[in-house]
Amino acid sequence: MRLKDRVALVTGMAMGIGQGVAELFAQEGAAVIGIDIDEKLGNQVAGGIVSKGGRCQFLVGDVGSEESVRTCVQAGLDQFGRIDVLVNVVGIAAECPVDKLELAEWDRILRVNLTSVYLTSKFVLPGMLDQKRGSIIHVSSVQALLGFPGYPHYAASKGAIISLTRQMASE
């Protein structure tokens, strides 16, 4: 069990890659703190992890909201005492070419896909720095490097994740 006695926070845990990461990390021995906006699916995933003998705390949260992220991170710390691994998986997309894209939709995609990476990192880093260990994994997309028509906001958010990751590593 490669993650025995580790605590991992996973964003976007209710489905897709986030669900897969949460389930695999739990199988490998980690206690999982899952954050997602979808309460029903998040509870189902958490229940599945627990039913297989894993440890999981599911928290309903908006990862694009500073207060929500702060509250979720603190709840995870209260439950497990620390966070050793952060996996930023959450991502949303909606097709719309740039000339038809409304600013509100641009802001929504960047808030969920990019601002969430900044916020979760901001709130888990102090603990990782104090304990002098930790891993942060940001999931981006091939679309960060190759443009696909109709997804300018998604591509911009995923490209920015790569740049933010490089910046954080240099710090």
pTM value?
0.95
Whether 54 shows a pLDDT value over 90: the answer reads yes
Active-site positions read 154
Q: pLDDT tens digits, residue range 102-135?
A: 999 999 999 999 999 999 999 999 999 999 999 9
Whether 1 shows a pLDDT value over 90: the answer reads no
Strand order in the sheet with 7-11: 55-60, 31-36, 7-11, 85-88, 135-138
